[in-house]
Chains A and B, each alone.
Chain A
Amino acid sequence: MGLAEKELKSSFTDWRFLGTIFFSFLATLFITGVLLDTVGSFSKGNLFSSLPISNKLVKIAVVEGGYHPSVAELEKITSASVIKTDLRTAQNMLSEGQVHAIYIVNETSGTFIGSNRPISVLAELAVKEAVDKVVRPDGGSKYNFNEDTGLQDLVRGLLTPILLFSPVFLWGLPIIQSIAYDRENRVLEVLFSTPIDRRRILLSKVLANMLFVGVVGAIWIAIVYFAGFHFIDPFGVFIVLLAVSFLMVAMNALVSSISRNVQEATLASSISSTVIFTALFLITMLTIIPQTQFLADISPATYVARQVTEAAAFPVYPVAVLLIIAISALVLALSAFSTEAFAFSIKPGIKQLYEGMIDILGGGYRAAIGMGFVAFSLTTPIQFIASALLIFTYGFHSLLPFLLVVLLALVEEFLKGIGVYVLRPSGLRNGILLGIVVGFSYGFGESLLFVPTAWVSHSARLILVARIMAIIAHVVSSGAGAVIFAYGISRADSSVKGRLGPIKLSMGGLWWLCGIAVATAIHSAYNYMLPWITQIVQLWLRQGII
């Protein structure tokens, strides 16, 4: 406990750092208040509601060649400002940036003309909402808007989680100082010569930093609450805040463990933090498009955004995925601690980190489970991007969706494959089992990530079948790749080295590459055919076959 006490004392007595955190609270509250007031007051009692800022977000020039009821609906949307004019004037206004879009109507039809600016998308959504109200007066909004809240609450909901979580960037910094400083100044070398296990040294630092983050997070939620930001379930928001903070601390522990000095660690941390936060909050914006809402539901930030206006079920699975990613980062950090590169301030490579995992997790199948989860964590951001791109390109007869599917599968199988390579199966049976275990843990993580959201229906049975399918797909692809590799190293003389371009490879390595290729092919086929497979499964469920 001595190390954890030292870390806590160091964090809670660093008055300059605590002052910086307090200043970040004030700055965040002020900016949040100003920005939220751009779209209307958050709630009664908001400290900043007196600021006079326009709440009109999008300006649309309407050219009426005849009466169409959608224009009246558009004028009812409170966040859109409608300017009726002729076509030439409208075109001039669009090119000069005075309006964000043009809507041309006559009695029977309408045409939307946008600009290249992102806000044009919001203008298009407003027009679509208005048209929808006319086309389906009883069907409700197709685009997740409603007349009472509309764009205001949408933007308010999106801004709130971004600004609520912004101070977390700061809270995750002490662990960088703790690990990277100790590594740069070789103090860790002295700690490693004590009887304390290396894992305990790192875990003490992480625990102390998490306690610090927990205290600071509780204070922040209390400040936010008393400033007038009344979430419907503040405790749920606090748990999500803690989960995101744990992810930050774990990621910072990892980057510190593989960086040579404090400067490098701080730079790497800022990059990884930006990627995490951008990914989390950009995903939330997918709420506005029904086809991608299931992706938005994956982000815990969406839950926080919804807490602004409605009670939402606590996001158990998204938080579980966050924790899996955080624990994977921690395992990699522990693995970096155990590598010998660490003692000489050398940056360990991914292969060395995987080898370190064998030490940390005790070898064999436990390491295989860990490697599956680590591979899943590393590919999660790529999966989001690929899924979003696939949704918009799928069905088009072009090479792009096919290439995306193959590329995603290749990255996933490669990262799983490194684990199998490092574990070095001792025979075919061992190879199959290792491949299955790595695939299972990867598939399990993926099933938590994508499947629980109602991407096809609310049928619990379908969701269960979909989860099992995701796991089976990964088990089959990883198992196939591992079998080929195990077969290869059982037959090949591993001392024979060949060249694959600039890369030197043993015969075992060449067989490994073959295994990756086969696994990628199986996985790509599954991903590409997934929509059809889903339809078949739905049919079977309806017919009671499964």
Chain B
Amino acid sequence: MITVENLTKKFGDFEAVGGVSFTVKDHEIFGIVGPNGAGKSTIVKMLATILKPTSGKASILGMDINEKPQEIRKIIGYLPEEPRVYDYMSGNEYLELFAQLYDTNYDIRELVRFMGLEKHAGRKIGEYSKGLRQRLSVARALVNDPKLLILDEPTMGLDPASARDLREKVLQMRDAGRTIIMCTHYMEEADFLCDELAILDSGAVAAKGKPEDLKAAMSKTFFLKVVFDTESESLVSSLKAKRKGRNVIVPVKTIQEGTERILEQAKKAKAKILSIDTITPTLEDVFVKVTRKVEP
């Protein structure tokens, strides 16, 4: 669906994006994650044809972004960081304006219903909460029934309930057959939503792949977190573990081997096991490692 090859963007001498490459498949949610200033918004602005690349290529459904920007804009929906709306218009008027601009016959009422705006669409946007504005902006991005949706930090600044609701909508949009590119710096969100992602650092791709693959590649070692009824240090050293408060973190080769060893040593030390959990690396751990080059 989307192919990006060595895409670069410079502003004068400053390189905001330096030679990024990735591929996005049809009907998937592709995440671009990174800290502030990593170049996420610059990349999506180039894909949305708002900015021209300094060098490199990108194509959306076979159309080059440099050669056919107008054609590309007809099939994409773009949600910028923070809602950009006209406060003096009503929700319906705002959506109708963009429907006219896209020259589309898409049913505005259907969009309003999908985004849960039925009670508010007749009111002035200036009276909306941030969550409603964001929902309206998503509705606006869908007004042309786009094949590709580009979302830049869609849940930033939303309360947890609104954010969760919006994430559900993103999954529904993917399931309806759209391809979605999403920028975020919330790792849990990327982990939950994205089928594949690219981690950016200072304008370059530091890592990319499926979230589970990225986490799996983090470390060959598993850990088990155990809580005993005793704080015996000899038990901890027999397990070659580390104590963190009440928890004892035990490195193991496999879950089975580890569990057997813990049970054996606990029996020898006459200690009771109160709880035992597995610890796997999170996407945040992956992010911290690749962007700061440190072990978590």
Q: Given A186-B84, A194-B98, A194-B101, answer yes or no on A340-B52 (Cβ-Cβ < 8 Å).
A: yes
B85 beta carbon closer than 8 Å to chain A: yes
Residues of A near any B CB (own CB < 8 A): 1-3, 6, 10, 185-187, 189-197, 340, 343-344
CA of A107 to CA of B254, assembled, Å: 127
Q: Given A190-B140, A340-B51, A343-B45, answer yes or no on A196-B101 (Cβ-Cβ < 8 Å).
A: yes
Q: Given A187-B84, A189-B84, A343-B50, answer yes or no on A6-B102 (Cβ-Cβ < 8 Å).
A: no
CA of A187 to CA of B50, assembled, Å: 13
8 further interface pairs, Cβ-Cβ under 8 Å (given A192-B50, A197-B70, A343-B51): A2-B101, A6-B89, A10-B88, A190-B140, A193-B48, A194-B102, A340-B11, A344-B11
Segment 19-71 of B: residues with Cβ below 8 Å from A = 45, 48-52, 70
CA of A340 to CA of B46, assembled, Å: 11
B287 beta carbon closer than 8 Å to chain A: no
B154 beta carbon closer than 8 Å to chain A: no
- What 4 pairs between A and B have smallest CB-CB spacing? A2-B100, A193-B78, A187-B84, A195-B73
Segment 69-119 of B: residues with Cβ below 8 Å from A = 70, 73-74, 76, 78, 80, 82, 84-86, 88-89, 97-98, 100-103
Residues of B near any A CB (own CB < 8 A): 11, 45, 48-52, 70, 73-74, 76, 78, 80, 82, 84-86, 88-89, 97-98, 100-103, 140
CA of A197 to CA of B74, assembled, Å: 12
Who on chain B is nearest to A340 by CB? B51
Interface of A is mostly: helix
Q: How far is the CB of B94 from chain A (nearest CB, A)?
A: 10
The listed residue (A1, A187, A194) touching B73 by CB distance below 8 A is A194
CB pair A187–B101 under 8 Å, yes or no, is no
CB pair A185–B84 under 8 Å, yes or no, is yes
Q: Given A187-B86, A194-B73, A343-B45, answer yes or no on A6-B97 (Cβ-Cβ < 8 Å).
A: yes
CA of A335 to CA of B226, assembled, Å: 66
Q: Given A186-B80, A187-B85, answer yes or no on A193-B73 (Cβ-Cβ < 8 Å).
A: yes
CB pair A189–B102 under 8 Å, yes or no, is no
Report B-chain residues with C-beta under 8 Å of the C-beta of A197.
70
The listed residue (A1, A185, A195) touching B102 by CB distance below 8 A is A195
Report A-chain residues with C-beta under 8 Å of the C-beta of B70.
195, 197
CB pair B84–A190 under 8 Å, yes or no, is yes
CA of A192 to CA of B84, assembled, Å: 12
CA of A231 to CA of B86, assembled, Å: 43
Q: Given A186-B80, A186-B82, A187-B86, answer yes or no on A193-B49 (Cβ-Cβ < 8 Å).
A: yes
Q: How far is the CB of B170 from chain A (nearest CB, A)?
A: 18
Q: How far is the CB of B200 from chain A (nearest CB, A)?
A: 18
Q: How far is the CB of A101 from chain B (nearest CB, A)?
A: 58
Who on chain A is nearest to B48 by CB? A193
Report B-chain residues with C-beta under 8 Å of the C-beta of A10.
88
Q: How far is the CB of B153 from chain A (nearest CB, A)?
A: 13
Who on chain B is nearest to A196 by CB? B101
Report B-chain residues with C-beta under 8 Å of the C-beta of A6.
86, 89, 97
Report B-chain residues with C-beta under 8 Å of the C-beta of A340.
11, 51-52
Q: How far is the CB of A96 from chain B (nearest CB, A)?
A: 59
CB pair A190–B80 under 8 Å, yes or no, is yes
The listed residue (B50, B52, B88) touching A193 by CB distance below 8 A is B50
Report B-chain residues with C-beta under 8 Å of the C-beta of A186.
80, 82, 84
Report B-chain residues with C-beta under 8 Å of the C-beta of A3.
97, 101
CA of A374 to CA of B50, assembled, Å: 26
CA of A248 to CA of B86, assembled, Å: 25
CA of A193 to CA of B52, assembled, Å: 13
CA of A2 to CA of B86, assembled, Å: 14
Q: How far is the CB of A110 from chain B (nearest CB, A)?
A: 68
Q: How far is the CB of B83 from chain A (nearest CB, A)?
A: 9
Report B-chain residues with C-beta under 8 Å of the C-beta of A1.
100
Report B-chain residues with C-beta under 8 Å of the C-beta of A194.
73, 98, 101-102
Report B-chain residues with C-beta under 8 Å of the C-beta of A185.
84
CA of A343 to CA of B16, assembled, Å: 14
A-B contact pairs, 17 of them (CB 8 A): A1-B100, A3-B97, A10-B88, A186-B84, A187-B86, A189-B80, A190-B140, A193-B78, A194-B73, A194-B98, A194-B101, A195-B70, A195-B73, A195-B74, A340-B11, A340-B51, A344-B11
Report A-chain residues with C-beta under 8 Å of the C-beta of B73.
193-195
